[in-house]
Amino acid sequence: FFGDYVDKEQDEVTHRFRIEDDVFTWTYREQDPMVFYPATSHQLVREDDEMTIEFLVDKTGLITGVEERWERRRKTVPVGMSGPPEQP
């Protein structure tokens, strides 16, 4: 799941998912990374419980993007320009 993701109609990486020292982070552009904790096999919840991210998987098991979710809003971020991100 870790790797780069690109907002629709953008030509550069806008989101990054990383795992370092067993800490999961989701970063938007150059903002500070947000720490997330696993909730299910494909969903993580931000440490302040204000947001979740869910990795979207197609029928063949490839990751197609990430859905960011807040209380009253959702946004899908497709995989990066280099193809599906790596799976741990």
How do residues 23-55 score in pLDDT, each as one tens digit?
Answer: 999 999 999 999 999 999 999 999 999 999 999
Residue 88 tokens, joined? 């741990």
Q: Which residue has the tokens 């995989």?
A: 79
Q: Is the pLDDT of residue 84 over 80?
A: no
Give the per-residue pLDDT at 86: 54
- The pairing of strands 73-78 and 23-28 is unpaired
Region 6-11: mean pLDDT is 87
Beta strands in 1-88 (DSSP E): 3-5, 15-20, 23-28, 34-38, 43-46, 52-57, 63-70, 73-78
pLDDT at residue 19 greater than cutoff 70 = yes
Provide mean pLDDT across the span 5-30.
Answer: 92
Structure token pair of residue 29: 């552009």
Global pTM reads 0.84
